Amino acid sequence: VTGANFVVFNGALKTSSGFLAKSSIVEDGLMVQITRETMESLRQALRDKKDFKITCGQMDAGDVKEYVDICWVENEDKANQG
């Protein structure tokens, strides 16, 4: 589990790269490189307020262990509102 102050979704990952998606720590945030098709699916999920899971790693890797989960929650934490 990684906590981040921001997330950047980059939809320019080429299918020919051999990766489903790639994630990396950038400064104090997370950058997720995804394909154009995944970006379209992510945008639709955000519009519909649906959870979305991005599987990261190489396409031919059998044991993929890295995921980026976008989850909608019922209650917002109001602890830092000033």
pTM to 2 decimal places: 0.79
Domain-by-domain residue ranges, the chain?
6-70
- The burial of 52, by beta-carbon neighbours within 10 Å (0-12 exposed, 13-18 middle, 19 or more buried), is given as middle
pLDDT in tens, 23-70: 999 888 999 999 999 999 999 999 999 999 999 988 887 776 789 999
Question: In the prediction, which pLDDT does 70 show?
Answer: 93
Q: Rounded to whole angstroms, how far apart are CA atoms 9 and 24? A: 11
Summary mean pLDDT of the chain: 88
pLDDT in tens, 10-29: 999 998 998 999 999 988 89
* Superfamily of domain covering 6-70: Domain of unknown function (DUF3480), N-terminal subdomain (3.30.1360.220)
